[in-house]
């Protein structure tokens, strides 16, 4: 995924985006006869701003040009996030799960999907080699691409700096190699590679030359182990009459050493680096079927009564006693066994079809993390840093 790219959509059609940006646009139609194709710019009405969503910083998505309509963001297994009255300000949703795809709806209409990103980790194993072309070197490095940091289409900013020559830069996408040209063969360069996506730039990995390209250059890994020896460039032999004065010897370079430190946001954990984050949760409804018990309840029934010329008489069923009556109706009273629904268990309510209660459920483990029983953690290797000796 190229994290600088975005997709335009005609009308309200939803667009899935694996990188960072969604937008709404209009598809142009071919010109026809007698069609107005230019007007006075003073009377032209500016087109409406296009809604845009982007993974603008770590574990966040920013939605702009929403026209003040409500903005809703949702993903499977996570609580729905809403900004019902954003006004004119961008709607910013933070605390998201890096690598998870979130659907964006503006004014109740789905507009597309955006993957939340995390800032990429540093590359490693940076190696610089000379080439057969003067002033040109090739660089290779290692870097693990994950969905949480933008997949395989990460951008890499490659730079060569020197105190005695202009800086040389290039940018590559989705590959782990680059070529720098136009280097000063008399300069000593420090090379850096920094992975980048829309959420931010990872820590730069560096490698430093030991000698200039014009003096049998030797490349150097980030752990200071030599990796290449450039071919010597023979100097032109001047005539005795025009021999220049010898150049002054360059000042000695400060002594340096390489140390290994944890990337930003990580703490040292033995030989590795560790980062932790608290669990996040979402709400689910737990249901339980009704239960019942038996109860004895008072019951009254009416039976036919017979008049014998003096009084009304009637007969009650077994278990019932006479309770008085007249005018052809006798009243019998007794008890019956009834099936009665139990009261809801503690913490539950009756929703009309079952007992129910809301519970907090731990979210799915984020990509690249592990669960140690109390929180989510992930580890990373230490990276090399050159400091004064």
Q: How far is CA 122 from CA 61, 126, 320, 383, in A?
A: 23, 11, 88, 8
Pairwise pLDDT comparison (228 vs 334), residue with the higher score = 334
CB atoms within 10 A of CB 96: 24
| Alpha helices, H only, the chain | none
Say which CATH number the domain at 67 has: 2.60.40
Choosing from 231, 247, 276, the residue where a domain stops is 231
DSSP string, 31-77: P-TT------GGGPPPPPPPPEEEEEETTEEEEE--TT--EEEE-TT
Please give the mean pLDDT across all residues of the chain.
Answer: 79
Token readout for 235 is: 């100097």
Residues 18 and 57 occupy one common structural domain: yes
Do 98 and 181 have their domain in common?
no
Are both 103 and 173 inside the same structural domain? no
What pLDDT does residue 244 have?
Answer: 61
Give the predicted TM-score (pTM) of the model. 0.44
- Residue 157's CATH number: 2.60.40.10
The Cα 203–Cα 264 span in angstroms is 8
Position 218 pLDDT exceeds 50: no
CA distance linking residue 252 with residue 207, whole number of Å: 19
SS3 151: helix
pLDDT reading at 30 higher than 80: no
Residue 303, pLDDT score: 87
Q: How does DSSP classify residue 342?
A: P
Q: Is residue 206 part of a domain?
A: yes
Q: Is residue 175 assigned to a domain?
A: yes
Q: Tell me what the mean pLDDT of segment 241-249 comes to.
A: 61
pLDDT at 27: 32
pLDDT for 331-345, tens place per residue?
Answer: 899 888 889 999 999
Q: Which residues, in sequence order, are CB contacts of 168 under 8 Å at separation 6+?
A: 159, 160, 180, 181, 182, 183, 189
Q: What mean pLDDT is predicted for residues 8-18?
A: 33
Tens-digit pLDDT profile for residues 348-361: 999 999 999 999 99
In a domain? residue 214: yes
Which carries the bigger pLDDT value, residue 14 or residue 90? 90
The secondary structure of 178-241 as a DSSP string is EEE----TT---EEEEEEEETTEEPPPEEEE-SS-GGGT-EEE-TTS-EEEEPPP-PPP---GG
Q: Is residue 150 part of a domain?
A: yes
Residue 364 lies in a domain: no
Average pLDDT for residues 88-107, to the nearest whole number? Answer: 89
Q: What integer is the mean pLDDT of 86-93?
A: 90
Q: Could you tell me if 108 and 128 lie in one domain?
A: no
Please state the rounded mean pLDDT for residues 99-119. 88
Tell which wins on pLDDT, 221 or 98: 98
Based on the domain organization, do 132 and 111 belong to the same domain? no
Give the residue from 211, 231, 251 where a domain finishes: 231
Mark which of 98, 115, 132 sits at the end of a domain.
115
Res 148: pLDDT: 84
Residue 237 has pLDDT above 60, yes or no: no
The residue segments making up the domain with residue 301 are 292-341
Are both 143 and 105 inside the same structural domain? no
Give the C-alpha separation, 360 to 117, whole Å.
25
As a whole number, mean pLDDT of residues 59-70 equals 88
Mean pLDDT of 154-160: 94
Same domain, 111 and 130: no
Report yes or no on 348 lying in a domain.
Answer: no
Residue 193 · residue 158 · CB < 8 Å: yes
The token duo for 261 is 């430190």
- Residue holding tokens 């339980």? 288
Identify the burial level of 24 via C-beta atoms within 10 angstroms of its C-beta, where 0-12 means exposed, 13-18 middle and 19 or more buried.
buried
Task: Note whether 144 and 98 are same-domain residues.
Answer: no
Instruction: Based on the fold, state whether residues 103 and 132 are members of the same structural domain.
Output: no
> How many separate domains does the chain show?
3
Helix, strand, or coil (residue 147): helix
pLDDT digits (tens, 9 = 90+) for 278-306: 999 999 999 999 999 999 888 888 888 88
Q: Are residues 130 and 100 in the same domain?
A: no
Domain co-membership, 194 together with 131: yes
Residue 273 lies in a domain: no
pLDDT of residue 315: 84
> Looking at the structure, do residues 181 and 202 belong to the same domain, yes or no?
yes
In a domain, residue 58? The reply is yes
CB 383 within 8 A of CB 261: yes
Q: Check pLDDT > 70 for residue 384.
A: yes
């Amino acid at each position: 995924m190229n994290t600088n790219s975005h997709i335009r959509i005609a009308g309200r059609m939803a667009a899935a985006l694996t990188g960072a940006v969604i937008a709404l646009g209009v598809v142009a139609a071919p010109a026809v006869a007698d069609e107005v194709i230019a007007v006075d710019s003073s009377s032209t009405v500016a087109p409406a701003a296009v809604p845009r969503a982007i993974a603008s910083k770590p574990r966040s998505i920013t939605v702009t040009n929403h026209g003040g309509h409500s903005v809703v963001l949702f993903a499977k297994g996570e609580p729905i996030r809403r900004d019902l009255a954003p006004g004119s300000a961008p709607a910013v949703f933070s605390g998201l799960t890096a690598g998870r795809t979130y659907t964006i709806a503006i004014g109740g209409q789905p507009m597309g999907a955006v993957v939340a990103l995390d800032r990429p980790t540093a590359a490693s194993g940076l190696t610089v080699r000379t080439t057969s072309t003067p002033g040109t070197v090739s660089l290779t490095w290692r870097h693990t691409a994950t969905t949480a940091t933008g997949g395989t289409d990460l951008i890499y900013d490659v730079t060569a700096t020197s105190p005695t020559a202009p800086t040389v830069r290039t940018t590559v996408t989705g590959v782990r190699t680059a070529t720098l040209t136009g280097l000063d063969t008399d300069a000593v360069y420090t090379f850096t590679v920094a992975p980048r996506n829309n959420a931010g730039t990872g820590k730069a990995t560096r490698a430093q030359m030991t000698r200039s390209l014009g003096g049998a250059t030797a490349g150097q890994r980030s752990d200071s182990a030599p990796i290449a020896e450039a071919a010597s460039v023979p100097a032109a032999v001047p005539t005795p009459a025009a021999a220049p004065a010898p150049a002054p010897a360059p000042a000695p370079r400060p002594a340096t050493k390489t140390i290994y430190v944890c990337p930003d946001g990580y703490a040292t954990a033995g030989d590795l680096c560790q980062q932790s984050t608290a669990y996040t949760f979402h709400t689910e409804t737990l249901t339980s079927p009704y239960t019942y018990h038996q109860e004895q309840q008072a019951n009254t029934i009416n039976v036919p009564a017979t008049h014998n010329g003096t009084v009304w008489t009637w007969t009650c069923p077994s278990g019932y006693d006479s309770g008085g009556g007249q005018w052809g109706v006798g009243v019998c009273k007794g008890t019956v066994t009834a099936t009665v629904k139990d009261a809801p268990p503690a913490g539950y309510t009756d929703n009309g079809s079952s007992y129910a209660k809301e519970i907090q459920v731990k979210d799915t483990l984020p990509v690249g993390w592990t669960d140690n029983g109390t929180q989510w953690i992930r580890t990373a290797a230490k990276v090399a840093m050159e400091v004064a000796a």
